[in-house]
Structure 1
């Protein structure tokens, strides 16, 4: 596995410690060897990204993360650089391999300053190497270390994090009171799930994974309750179509929503469903919107509805219902949602459908995919968005259990959960997606995949990956600012057809 490839299995801190133990006990790799390999891998990144670095400040804590830092400092000195270690504890208080590496660095003349209660003077340095806290952090960062983290962040120096930016939870991706913001992070042994969700993507910078030559048999010996979604698996669920296929073979998606002022939401969902391969797409919306929607996309069937009873004939013809885009929370939307929840068809519930469900404690029996952002998830859990973001894994598990549905929790590092599968994590997408209509496109993609026979959990995880990858492709030539939801659609079509290379001009 190369440094830039991420493993499918994602672990919490305890899982990575277990992998480390198995590498030592089962594969016979000494802990000292693993620490040296980690330091060597990190130093290669230092040289690659900052070839003109002359004076790195290496911040070393009391654990093995600090030991990695001492290895980096020694390698830097041997390469002719002028490193200085700033240690939070004196070497005599270190234990095990970390102490061995610290003593080795000191014996080779690496200068070490023990900080005690003094903040380091970073003015003479051109880079900071973070070996402060690592994955062993439990609870909130202590005030003295929080002050040190704030001091380093305020220095403006580029930062290389060893294994994980200090203060970031490896388990949840939450900031534990204070955290360093890295330009580059090199993580070791096992991929920490917290690096890829919550605050993780914003704090890690460019992320690299190094397995430290641990045998694949050891890596695969430990099960993981979180897995990365792999685009190459999608072809198993969307094989090449038969030459005698017809539109009825690929699902009829009904999109319900679009209250006054929100016609665009149902149009985006419907067009995304059509571009994702749905055989037929219908829209039920306010009568005033029919002409505009047909003018934009004549391939979509549009019906004006005044109340829930008007959905009867539409529901009979549909195979999947997407409900929520632009639905509103007034009597019109509430009435439509009530009929949808009774229909027994597979459902995608988004936006105001989720808000109405939370407000009125509504229930349903059909298989469903819920697609909340953190605010909507908080309302569904009767919590607040900060609590959701503090542990996105716990939140998505609780939502899946409470609503007995597949749940797609949006945000950086989208998570997908159901009651009988590992959590899926999507490592794709970019900040340009923070614009109106993106969620409507996602709901349409999910609806189309459901209509093509993919089960809810798989439809949700592959739709989220297609959505994120489409956005990443859409920004390559023109950047993130100004990205529109409709910009994703050409790339969505290419991705669901297995055309992964090449960018539409």
Structure 2
């Protein structure tokens, strides 16, 4: 899916209007598409049929009234809070407002935020609202929220969290700048953004990713010829695109046909990065991984084949690389001058697909004259990319992406710019984003897997060229799409473990004693039932500044909510019965 700026989207829509296309028809199509998504969610989740719509005064609100009218006609309970007088509304909004009123729809005109009510104290849980539909501001908004609008947005966000109401935004969360992705000071925190026609650049940069939730597409009827006239900022990969690019696996293949990867990584005190890198490559499907280090990797897992070779022996290392399909270099490699000299000498001689990460990027930034292997892929996070670009001052995401694209072209390399979201740059194609909402990973990891970036290596193994999805190259796309970590951005995560051990013993015994003149006899019997039950469960948690763990699912991104369900493991229970008979004489 193509990504454009909000300004560019408005421009191509205007071209359609000049050709006589009806803006009213576009609004009807958009509203009906949103209606279908909303009702499908309610049916699938078996939710109450009560919806609250918050409307502004532009065409975004007009879309909301089309949705409201359709809901009303299907018997849904619809409540609209109109934030502005209708005489201030756009022409199309007035038309849709009239259509809604003709259907006996009810509208509450809001004079202050206290008029916006999402719950009734007399209602039971099943009768409460299910969704809030945000139809306040559209993609034309820019600047800062203030006064009444700011109060309204804050109340919507607070009440949605307090009452567990899901927010759906039409085209863009109200308050988010569709061009820059900046919010000032806040915006609607959507669970789902139903974007119309083309995704907007502001979703993916600066503050945008924290407000959009999941992205859902609605086609409102804009002809493809107009979309092709738009200046594309990014390509947006969704799960359908990604699935179509995954390779078919031959079940009969042996390990070398599954891919042979060489890793050059690890150094004193940093062998964990080397081990994680190798394990990531293996788990992504590689048949064999061989790791080259200058000293033996301590406590290596048995699957890791470790070659200890001094970096002075370049020809010996190249001989091993010549047998591989791809190479990754950098995780935990170390930052001393010897490593930089080694990279300067060996990189021009490598003729395999090569992934450069971590310390390899550090040395490359020190010496940009290094000659890189053909079709190399660099996997920096934003700070590493800034170092490669020699940027020391603060820079916006837009500027960083612009400079990263230029670097990709000048160096003829692919770049997987890690972050939220990951942006993939190709020297001859439009950048691609794979917003990690799409790649759902419900396993929470203690550290981000994409510190190792070896799933990109796995994609390289399958001999894909670096090209765009239309021509079938997933080397960057699949690698980045699958390589998503499970951490909550900016928040230290904890695994909260709950252990329960219950032990009990039931028993009975009987004993007979005889005391004679010179002897004492004792005969007895006992039965004991000892039972034990052990339960262990783990949940995701967060750390406070004092390193105290706590649970707060609402603070996590929706894609990670499954991690808050307790995961039970190593549970067991059992009973042991002991019977004994004894006799004694004294």
What TM-score results when the alignment is normalised by the length of structure 1? 0.75
Residue in 1 aligned with 2:235? 227
Q: Which residue of the other structure, out of 16, 23, 35, is the alignment partner of 1:31?
A: 23
Secondary structure (helix, strand or coil) at the match of 1:429 reads coil
Contact 2:172/2:194 (8 A) holds in 1? yes
Q: Which residue of the other structure, out of 334, 348, 355, is the alignment partner of 2:362?
A: 355
Aligned-pair CA distance for 1:350: 1.0
Report how many residues are paired: 457
Q: Structure 1 residues 55, 467: closer, same or farther in 2, change over 3 A? A: closer
Q: Structure 1 residues 146, 311: closer, same or farther in 2, change over 3 A? A: farther
Aligned-pair CA distance for 1:211: 0.7
Secondary structure (helix, strand or coil) at the match of 2:220 reads coil
Mapped to 2, the partners of 1:337 and 1:145 lie a distance apart of 56
Compare the two structures and name the one with the higher strand fraction. 2
Q: Greater Rg, structure 1 or structure 2? A: 2
Q: Structure 1 residues 420, 318: closer, same or farther in 2, change over 3 A? A: same
Aligned-pair CA distance for 1:146: 3.3
Aligned-pair CA distance for 1:445: 3.2
Moved more, 92-101 or 415-424: 92-101
Corresponding position: 1:42 with 2:34? yes
Contact 1:55/1:124 (8 A) holds in 2? no
Residue in 2 aligned with 1:287? 295
Aligned-pair CA distance for 1:197: 6.5
Q: Which residue of the other structure, out of 153, 173, 178, is the alignment partner of 1:149?
A: 153
Q: Structure 1 residues 333, 429: closer, same or farther in 2, change over 3 A? A: farther
Residue in 2 aligned with 1:411? 419
Deviations 1:285-322 (A, max 9, x none): 24131x643x5215x3x22245x323442124425431
Secondary structure (helix, strand or coil) at the match of 1:164 reads coil
Mapped to 2, the partners of 1:181 and 1:383 lie a distance apart of 32
Contact 1:85/1:111 (8 A) holds in 2? no
Q: Structure 1 residues 76, 274: closer, same or farther in 2, change over 3 A? A: closer
Residue in 2 aligned with 1:322? 328
Aligned-pair CA distance for 1:338: 3.7
Q: Structure 1 residues 469, 356: closer, same or farther in 2, change over 3 A? A: closer
Q: Structure 1 residues 165, 242: closer, same or farther in 2, change over 3 A? A: closer
Mapped to 2, the partners of 1:392 and 1:185 lie a distance apart of 25
Residue in 1 aligned with 2:85? 90
Residue in 1 aligned with 2:464? 454
Q: Structure 1 residues 388, 217: closer, same or farther in 2, change over 3 A? A: closer
Deviations 1:412-442 (A, max 9, x none): 3321012310111224434656643612553
Q: Which residue of the other structure, out of 3, 11, 25, is the alignment partner of 1:10?
A: 3
Mapped to 1, the partners of 2:205 and 2:421 lie a distance apart of 4
Mapped to 1, the partners of 2:334 and 2:106 lie a distance apart of 64
Residue in 2 aligned with 1:438? 449
Moved more, 405-414 or 251-260: 251-260
Residue in 1 aligned with 2:171? 163
What TM-score results when the alignment is normalised by the length of structure 2? 0.66
Q: Which runs of 5+ in 2 are unaligned?
A: 121-128, 468-472, 488-536, 542-586
Contact 2:449/2:484 (8 A) holds in 1? no
- Write the mapping of 1:172-211 to structure 2, written as runs, cut at 5 A: 173-195=181-203, 200=208, 202-211=210-219
Q: Which has the higher contact order (CA 8 A, sep 6+)?
A: 1
Aligned-pair CA distance for 1:351: 1.7
Moved more, 102-111 or 32-41: 102-111
Deviations 1:378-435 (A, max 9, x none): 4334557984557774464255356542111123332101231011122443465664
Mapped to 1, the partners of 2:392 and 2:57 lie a distance apart of 35
Q: Structure 1 residues 121, 232: closer, same or farther in 2, change over 3 A? A: closer
- Write the mapping of 1:202-351 to structure 2, written as runs, cut at 5 A: 202-214=210-222, 224-229=232-237, 230-234=241-245, 247=256, 253-274=261-282, 281-289=289-297, 292-293=299-300, 295-298=301-304, 300=305, 302-306=306-310, 308-319=311-322, 320-331=326-337, 333-345=339-351, 346-351=353-358
Residue in 1 aligned with 2:495? none
Q: Which residue of the other structure, out of 13, 16, 28, is the alignment partner of 1:20?
A: 13
- Write the mapping of 1:487-502 to structure 2, written as runs, cut at 5 A: none
Compare the two structures and name the one with the higher helix fraction. 1
Q: Structure 1 residues 222, 349: closer, same or farther in 2, change over 3 A? A: same
Q: Which residue of the other structure, out of 373, 377, 381, is the alignment partner of 1:369?
A: 377
Contact 1:198/1:413 (8 A) holds in 2? no
Mapped to 2, the partners of 1:467 and 1:460 lie a distance apart of 10
Aligned-pair CA distance for 1:460: 1.6
Contact 1:372/1:408 (8 A) holds in 2? yes
Q: Structure 1 residues 344, 141: closer, same or farther in 2, change over 3 A? A: farther
Residue in 2 aligned with 1:485? none
Contact 1:263/1:285 (8 A) holds in 2? no
Contact 2:293/2:307 (8 A) holds in 1? yes
Mapped to 2, the partners of 1:392 and 1:106 lie a distance apart of 49
Q: Structure 1 residues 210, 375: closer, same or farther in 2, change over 3 A? A: same
Q: Which residue of the other structure, out of 117, 139, 142, is the alignment partner of 1:138?
A: 142
Corresponding position: 1:69 with 2:79? no
Q: Structure 1 residues 148, 378: closer, same or farther in 2, change over 3 A? A: farther
Aligned-pair CA distance for 1:94: 2.5
Contact 1:406/1:418 (8 A) holds in 2? yes
Please identify runs of 4+ aligned residues in structure 1 that moved more than 6 A.
239-246
Aligned-pair CA distance for 1:352: 2.5
Q: Structure 1 residues 241, 70: closer, same or farther in 2, change over 3 A? A: closer
Secondary structure (helix, strand or coil) at the match of 1:83 reads strand
Residue in 1 aligned with 2:479? 463
Q: Structure 1 residues 259, 140: closer, same or farther in 2, change over 3 A? A: farther
Contact 2:258/2:286 (8 A) holds in 1? yes
Mapped to 1, the partners of 2:410 and 2:187 lie a distance apart of 32
